[in-house]
Amino acid sequence: MANKIRLLVPCKLLNDRQKALQIRKGDYYRYLAEFKGADERKEAADQSLKAYEAATSSAISDLPPTHPIRLGLALNFSVFYYEILNSPERACCLAKQAFDDAIAELDSLNEESYKDSTLIMQLLRDNLTLWTSDLPDEGGDI
């Protein structure tokens, strides 16, 4: 037993990797859905939706709204709703919620993630500006 080395991976590290894996899985199927025919597109979209939903559930329970992984997930998931499911309303709702939640806690951001988080927040904001022009005339507000 003295010659055996045990490697214990901290649970937090595993959880972050699991979140990242779910996000990448959602992204992978989203990219497939962009290029597949109707039947294969639906299957890829369903797989992407499941992966994004699992990642979102985990991120909301484990990460603060300002965390770059959580913000990046919201960005990618909202693009999925907009481009793959053709749902600008849902895309805008998701992006706005993520942006608003992060703004409310912006002062709690640490220095190392500030740049990443604010960059992703700006991308969310840019998408919202672009996408609200595609919504039915409701004054452009979400």
Q: Which CATH superfamily is domain 12-132 in?
A: 14-3-3 domain (1.20.190.20)
Q: Which two tokens stand for residue 125?
A: 């904001």
Q: Convert the pLDDT of each residue in 61-119 to its tens digit.
A: 989 999 999 999 999 999 999 999 999 999 999 999 999 999 999 888 888 889 999 99
Do residues 92 and 79 touch, judged by C-beta distance below 8 A?
no
Gyration radius from the chain CA atoms:
18
pTM of the model: 0.83
Domain ranges (residues) in the chain? 12-132
- How many Å apart are CA 95 and CA 100, to the nearest integer? 9
